[in-house]
Amino acid sequence: MKIALAGNPNCGKTTLFNSLTGATAHVGNWPGVTVDKKEGWYKKLPEHIQIVDLPGIYSLSPYTPEEIVSRNFIVDETPDCVINVIDATNLERNLYLTTQILEIDVPVVIALNMMDVVQKHGGTIDVQTIEQTLQVPVVEISALKNEGIAQLMKVTYQEAKQPRKGTSLFTDTTLTTYIQCVQAKMEQQNVTNSLFHAIKWIEKDRIERSNQEVVIKDTEQWEKKIDTSAFDGDMEGMIADARYQYIAQSFAKMSQNKKGLESTTTSDRMDRVLTHRIWSIPLFLLVMFIVFHFVFSEDLFFLNGLFGIEISNPGWINFLTGMGYEDILAETIENGEAAVLAGIPSLGVFLQNWMGWLTGSVIDLVSGIMPEGTWYTGLICDGLLTGLDAIFSFLPQILLLFLFISILEDSGYMARVAFIMDRAFRKFGLSGKAFIPLLMGFGCSVPAMMATKTLEDEKERDLAIRLSPFFSCGAKAPIWAMLAAVVAGSFLGDIFVFSIYVLGIVVAIVSALLMRAFGKKVDVPPFIMELPAYHMPQFKNLMAHLWEKFKHFIYKASTIITASIIVIWFLSNFQWAFWTGMVDDISESMLADLGRVLQYVFYPCGWSMGQDGWKYTVASITGLIAKEDVVGTMSTLGLTEDTIALSNAAIYAFAAYNLFTLPCFAAVATAKSESTKKGFLVTMAWWLGASYVLSMVIFWMGKLFEIGWYLGLLAIIVLVVAMVLLGEFVVKKRKVAK
């Protein structure tokens, strides 16, 4: 049995889906489009029920890929029942989609969600009258609190076994005869769901008109009898107005509200601050800094930097550092010196330390079992396990970062961020709708680029794809974590990581400015988005998000990353005449030769200078396979937190290059499939050019600071002034265009 979940965005549909399916859920793409396809199983009934979570939509009109997917699934794939999830706090608006679903020949159950919120505000809804009016079951639920779910599925299971004919609200209107005429013609052509198709045909739905051309000639006489002058001849507008009038007349009195849901709520009061015209962006930056502080900081709450707090107890030091200082402590105590740990590590660093201890213990165990001096021992221990150790030791920090981002998303705050950024990004040729895919880039560039398909304007879509890798994805987090540990001795690691993320956003804005300044005018479409009420995220949903990220990471680690580590190990342990055996020194290997040739290209960027410069070059190149490979390659080549000898300026330049250069091959392939041919070529050139130029500029600006702080400050002032002048030029150009 197959059940579909349909409803408006932010109605709680996905929360319900997660409650029903739990760990059985999996995510993919609908055939032919890049819209998310979510499926899972509900196993608490006499037979297992397949649950399909359709994209959030406001209607079944074919204006977006989400609407087309939902429409085609309900109409063509004939689910056994449709659960129409309705936000009970916005009853009338949500019922617009309901009136369309009811026109399809499919069993329907209304899930009246967020009833706990309605009751909290002293409201009531006449469920029995709604059932009688719509002639389908209505069940009160709270998906967030898991209330009424069992009853909903019990009713749905019963309804799915009973066939249902579509019903229309147009039973006594000027359109009634016209609808009946078209429906009769549809039935003569053996069209299933004839009522739904008839109404869509009358609306002049583009899909319907192209599929049912034979109906047009026979019904033109009826269309001429309909007075559409009040709607400038727009039949779709007339039908939409009729739907809203019906909903207002039939359901307005069914929702009673003692305290007033429309009055000022807690969400409204929070939005006065969090979406404030001036303070919203600084607050967003503060929130993100706090997240990075808890994930990457070596000095939690700056206890050491501000207050000089140190840990001297050896037991606590070993606990906080994952036994990482065990040997050092033993030597320190033996020499009669005091053991000291500066401050307390953050939760992310604490977990990373213990994961490093776990993976290190596994390597030691395997090394003790395998024979010494053989090539396969080197492959498994020095190559494969060491590379995976470097990557997996950062897994807790990656998952913790995703956890915080999921909390911000599920709480409703990220929707506000899109609204906030719409005001800023609109000046640069991007709407808030485009910023949503860019935000997804913090997770992975591939789905971020796929999500740009919802952007109607071709140039805006190309621009969003071009900028999406600048929003640092989770695969790059191990790079920042390693480099943060290196620079932590000279300045705070969490500030370093935070600055990398901010740098990506700033460069994305500057890139958009440059393209607006020297490109053709891009019309930014209006952005309309519903802001959901703030609420506490559901633990089950958060764990489901983390599980998806974990599975994705493990899949990459077991395939792409493992294969690339093996290739890197082979290249780093053999010379070109590989049949002569393994090399004693990695500097004599094939990988070293390749790196030495390429390192001269990156000399101006600073990080490829010196004896180990070729290693950083090779690590950056292997990052094209998967960005996690940068850390794995560095570890394979002997570059660790203790052996990296780059200056702070070179480290930052190296980080900037890996942030802005070509993303992984999967993201490049996605960009090619989603962009226009010309747009893709410009995008590739932009990634390569921006990464090289920015890396070089950052390194030499750092050199200026080393010579004299006033020289570095002067360089920053010049850059800021240039950005301001560029922004003014774009604004003036926009006014002239208007």
| 236 sits in which H/E element | helix 235-251
- Tokens for 584? 């004693």
Tell me how far apart the alpha carbons of residues 297 and 302 are, in angstroms, rounded to a whole number: 9
CB atoms within 10 A of CB 454: 18
Count of helix runs (H) and strand runs (E) in the chain: 35, 11
Instruction: Calculate helix-pair angle for 677-707, 493-518, nearest 10 degrees.
Output: 130
Both tokens of 243, joined, read 């739907």
- Non-local (6+) Cβ contacts of 506 within 8 A are none
Closest CA to 114 of 14, 12, 18, 15: 12
Report the C-alpha gap between 288 and 421 in whole angstroms.
15
Beta-carbon contacts of residue 351 (< 8 Å; ≥ 6 apart): 396, 397, 400
Q: What is the end-to-end Cα distance of the chain in Å, rounded?
A: 55
Residue 140's nearest CA partner among 16, 2, 267 is 16
Around 242, how many Cα atoms within 13 Å sit in the side-chain half-sphere? 22
What is the C-alpha to C-alpha distance for residues 175 and 242, in angstroms, rounded to an integer? 10
pLDDT for res 156:
96
Stated pTM of the model? 0.68
3-class DSSP assignment, residue 403: helix
Q: Kindly state the DSSP code that residue 469 receives in the 8-state scheme.
A: G
Return the H-helix or E-strand segment holding 407.
helix 395-411
Q: Find residue 50's DSSP bridge partners.
A: 2, 41
Q: What domains are defined for the chain?
A: 2-159 (3.40.50.300), 299-344 (no CATH)
Q: With beta carbons less than 8 A apart as the criterion, state whether 91 and 251 touch.
A: yes
CA 352 to each of CA 293, 393, 407: distance values in angstroms, whole numbers, following the listed order: 14, 6, 21
**pLDDT attached to residue 733:** 62
Question: Which pair of tokens denotes residue 288?
Answer: 């993100």
Per-residue pLDDT, 451: 66
In this structure, the strands spanning 138-140 and 108-113 are parallel
Residue type, 590: M
Smallest CA-to-CA distance from 16 within 97, 110, 157, 131 is with: 110
Closest by CA to 170, choosing from 233, 226, 109, 215, is: 226
Q: What are phi and psi of 312, to 5 degrees?
A: -115, -10
Write down the pLDDT at residue 490.
45
311, 314, 321, 315: which is closest to 346 by C-alpha? 321
Write out 609-626 in H/E/C secondary structure.
Answer: CCCCHHHHHHHHHHCCCC
Across 508-534, b (16+ Cβ under 10 Å) vs e yields bbbbbbbbbeeeeebebeebebebbbb
Half-sphere exposure of 160 (CA within 13 A, CB side): 21
Q: How far is CA 14 from the centre of its chain?
A: 15
Question: What's the rounded Cα separation, in Å, for the pair 296 and 721?
Answer: 32
Tokens representing 482?
Answer: 């390693």
**Cα 522 to Cα 152: distance, rounded to the nearest angstrom:** 47
Give SS3 for 287: helix
Q: Residue 374 in 3-state DSSP?
A: coil
Q: What is the mean pLDDT of each run of 10 residues along the chain (738 residues)?
A: 92 88 64 68 92 90 81 92 93 92 96 89 86 94 91 96 91 81 85 90 83 66 74 82 88 64 69 88 87 82 83 85 66 69 85 86 89 86 79 78 84 83 71 74 75 72 90 86 76 79 89 75 61 80 80 72 80 86 83 89 92 90 80 84 88 95 82 85 93 94 82 82 76 58
Cα gap 389→393, rounded to integer Å:
6
Judge whether 152 and 83 are in contact, CB under 8 Å: yes
What pLDDT shows up at residue 261? 46
Using alpha carbons only, what angle is made at residue 405 by residues 69 and 471, rounded to the nearest 5 degrees?
80
